[in-house]
Structure 1
Amino acid sequence: MLIDRIDLFHVAMPLREPWRTAASDETAIESVLVRMTSGGLAGWGETAPHSGPNYCEEWAGGAFLVLQKKLAPAIAGQTLTSGEDLQALLKSVKGNTFAKAGLDLAFHDLLARSQDRPLWRLLGGARPDVLVGEDISVEPTLDQLVAKIGKAVEKGLARVKLKFRPGWGVDMVAAVRSAYPDLLMHIDCNSAFTLDDLEMFRALDRYDLAMIEQPLRHDDILDHAVLRRKIATPICLDETITSVERARQAIEQEACDIINLKLGRLGGITPTLRVREMCKAAGVGNWMGSMLESAVAQNATIAFATLPNMTYPADVFPTEKFYEEDLANRDVTYSAPSYVTATERPGIGVEPDPAKLKRFTVNEAVIR
């Protein structure tokens, strides 16, 4: 396909309530939407590395600029037949995986639409129904946290992820486990700790957590390998896994039991497929994460999560959890308790509503 034009939209969608983690407190989610056009068809992608470089080195404003100045010009006017073609054209730009993901997702949506196929079928998904869980941020009080977990349990959600940070730690986990002794749950540290906190991590072993997600530095492999040998709870890597090469190194160093797959963090569908295959070959668990994106990126995540051998409920959420309104023309909703279902419409099955897109856009650019 000849890529005629690429449109970029830096958007900010207000959250219903602040999202508090060890990395940052967010009141709005900023992302970059990418529209890739070929002939009369358009595909949509989205990348949402947050409003500042807190989760990782990238941020939405920076992603918009590198897309505008470097990445989109490398793709516009080119003929692409595969995600590998696209990634090869982006290779000279180091890092910037979130920015690259916006283009990769838009291309795959465009490719699926050109074949009049849902993206999940194009990728080889096993079934359209995707098991999902609940994420809960740092809450003002333990009572409020326990109440939110109670609502998730009442809804029949398959598991709960709890944000974990200094001052909101072992005592919080103990209180939750006391209230819900059989709950499938894990904690997400968002790289807030070091090996000096070993005794804290050992104390967590008694609470039967499914995993500890990204306990140490965002760029670390070796210390995670040390920690993994010293505690019983499985370790999941998230922020660390920014490329196929980093995934290979983490697996070879036995630094993790599980890898959280995020299309944005890994640079799109193309590299994430490779990491998934590496996990499968090595016997490392994997599951789909997300970045609180709109329904545009969420539907790409849902499509990917239909692939076989996902070993844990995905981080995909109904629109109403985070937003008063989504900028897409269709919300993400549960199809059954703890399930979402991939669309049978072509591509990701959604696109931004023009009026909402205009209202949420803070910057835009066109590359031909």
Structure 2
Amino acid sequence: MAKAGLEAAVLDAELRAQGRSMAECFGAVRDWVDCGVSVGIAPTLEELLDEVTGYLEEGYRRIKLKIKPGWDLVPVAAVRELIGREAMLQVDANTAYTADDIPLLASLDPFDLLLIEQPFAEEDLATHVRLAQATETPVCLDESILDVTTAVDAIERGATSIVNIKPGRMGGFLEALRVHDACVAREVPVWCGGMLETGVGRAANVAIAALPGFVLPGDTSASGRYFAEDLTEPFVLGSGEHRGRMRVPDAPGTGVAVREELVRDWASRPAVTIGG
């Protein structure tokens, strides 16, 4: 993640000097991107449904539910009933399951999920292959995809049919572009994940999510999903024909400006005492 941040800063500076946006540099093909939202494990089913209802009212085009053993079939069924059969719904297991859970995960098929994300340990491609063979729900890898080499290996082994691209996890946007291109060449759809970025990182994520291979809504939520105040002007969802979408920044570099007054206010300067 540190490398990704440094690389993004260098790209931002160079592109600002050239008067070019990140979206232009990356090869974006759209001005707006569809947005999804990630919903964590709730204390109760009622609270989960209330949270999902709120996100639907905000306009999000896709709901992602976190699941774990003991919190899977019931919440997925309840949310599917709430949002209807046509709404986009996917689940993320964050490596919480083992090979013994393949029958349980296959039983999610009737809920018409977009995908099931990273059900098993990141190094356990073999079990992901077994699940892919046992289920109609597409298997998507996240933590297993570290770079273009691991992406191609997972695809060719049949461990994944969709890839979650997280530039921060891959060490930067240049490697993320290579993963995108490799997936497009193999007709594997991708989407953009998130790692709790501020507006600076979110701007870059939205830019890369505008590439042609990103055909599923990403975790490019509005700033208000995580921050009372963002380091940039807040990212918000569009309205009208762009409801549930986010505008791709088109100004030079990341296309956003850091709110320097917030940096000053939030900066931490620990006191240092020298000597006795």
Query: TM-score when scaled to structure 2?
Result: 0.91
Using the TM superposition, give the Cα deviation of residue 244 of structure 1 relative to its aligned residue in structure 2, in angstroms: 1.3
Indicate conservation of the 8 Å contact 2:190/2:215, yes or no: yes
Indicate conservation of the 8 Å contact 1:159/1:313, yes or no: yes
**Which residue of structure 2 aligns with residue 341 of structure 1?**
247
Greater shift, 256-265 or 181-190, is seen at 181-190
**Which residue of structure 2 aligns with residue 185 of structure 1?**
89
Q: Closer, same or farther in 2 for the Cα pair 1:265/1:142, shift >3 Å?
A: same
CA–CA separation in structure 2 for the residues paired with 1:219 and 1:101: 22
Using the TM superposition, give the Cα deviation of residue 116 of structure 1 relative to its aligned residue in structure 2, in angstroms: 0.9
Q: How many correspondences in the alignment?
A: 266
User: 1:120 is matched by which residue type in structure 2?
Assistant: A
CA–CA separation in structure 2 for the residues paired with 1:128 and 1:178: 33
Which of 159, 173, 187 matches 1:269?
A: 173
CA deviation string 1:169-209 (max 9, x = no partner): 11111111222232210000011111111121121112111
Structure with the higher fraction of residues in helix conformation? 2
Residue 232 of structure 2 corresponds to residue 324 of structure 1 = no
Q: Closer, same or farther in 2 for the Cα pair 1:363/1:129, shift >3 Å?
A: farther
Give 3-state SS (helix, strand or coil) of 1:120's partner: helix
Which of 95, 100, 124 matches 2:3?
A: 100
User: 1:259 is matched by which residue type in structure 2?
Assistant: V
Residue 64 of structure 2 corresponds to residue 158 of structure 1 = no
User: 1:113 is matched by which residue type in structure 2?
Assistant: R
Indicate conservation of the 8 Å contact 1:190/1:218, yes or no: no
Residue 81 of structure 2 corresponds to residue 175 of structure 1 = no
Residue 138 of structure 2 corresponds to residue 228 of structure 1 = no
CA deviation string 1:208-243 (max 9, x = no partner): 111000110023322211211111110000000011
Mapping for residues 38-187 of structure 1, pairs under 5 Å: 98-182=1-85, 183-187=87-91
CA–CA separation in structure 2 for the residues paired with 1:202 and 1:117: 46
Taking only the aligned residue pairs, the percentage that are identical comes to 35
**Which residue of structure 2 aligns with residue 88 of structure 1?**
none
Using the TM superposition, give the Cα deviation of residue 140 of structure 1 relative to its aligned residue in structure 2, in angstroms: 1.4
Residue 263 of structure 2 corresponds to residue 357 of structure 1 = yes
User: 2:10 is matched by which residue type in structure 1?
Assistant: F
**Which residue of structure 1 aligns with residue 273 of structure 2?**
none
CA–CA separation in structure 2 for the residues paired with 1:108 and 1:114: 10
Q: Closer, same or farther in 2 for the Cα pair 1:191/1:303, shift >3 Å?
A: same
CA–CA separation in structure 2 for the residues paired with 1:167 and 1:360: 40
Give the alignment's Cα RMSD to 1 decimal: 1.6
Residue 205 of structure 2 corresponds to residue 301 of structure 1 = yes
CA deviation string 1:242-278 (max 9, x = no partner): 1111111101101101000111011111111111111
Residue 192 of structure 2 corresponds to residue 288 of structure 1 = yes
User: 2:204 is matched by which residue type in structure 1?
Assistant: A
CA–CA separation in structure 2 for the residues paired with 1:104 and 1:363: 26
Mapping for residues 25-36 of structure 1, pairs under 5 Å: none
Indicate conservation of the 8 Å contact 1:300/1:348, yes or no: yes
Q: Please list every run of 5 or more consecutive structure 2 residues that lacks an aligned counterpart in the other structure.
A: 271-276
Which of 85, 108, 122 matches 1:218?
A: 122
Using the TM superposition, give the Cα deviation of residue 362 of structure 1 relative to its aligned residue in structure 2, in angstroms: 4.9
User: 2:235 is matched by which residue type in structure 1?
Assistant: V
CA deviation string 1:256-313 (max 9, x = no partner): 0100011101111111111111111111110111111100100000111111131201
Indicate conservation of the 8 Å contact 1:262/1:289, yes or no: yes
CA–CA separation in structure 2 for the residues paired with 1:333 and 1:258: 27
**Which residue of structure 2 aligns with residue 314 of structure 1?**
218
Residue 107 of structure 2 corresponds to residue 203 of structure 1 = yes
Q: Closer, same or farther in 2 for the Cα pair 1:108/1:363, shift >3 Å?
A: farther
CA–CA separation in structure 1 for the residues paired with 2:267 and 2:156: 43
CA deviation string 1:42-67 (max 9, x = no partner): xxxxxxxxxxxxxxxxxxxxxxxxxx
Query: TM-score when scaled to structure 1?
Result: 0.69
CA deviation string 1:17-75 (max 9, x = no partner): xxxxxxxxxxxxxxxxxxxxxxxxxxxxxxxxxxxxxxxxxxxxxxxxxxxxxxxxxxx
Q: Please list every run of 5 or more consecutive structure 1 residues that lacks an aligned counterpart in the other structure.
A: 1-97
Indicate conservation of the 8 Å contact 2:67/2:93, yes or no: yes
Using the TM superposition, give the Cα deviation of residue 359 of structure 1 relative to its aligned residue in structure 2, in angstroms: 3.9
**Which residue of structure 1 aligns with residue 274 of structure 2?**
none
Using the TM superposition, give the Cα deviation of residue 332 of structure 1 relative to its aligned residue in structure 2, in angstroms: 1.1
Q: Closer, same or farther in 2 for the Cα pair 1:361/1:214, shift >3 Å?
A: farther
Structure with the higher fraction of residues in strand conformation? 1
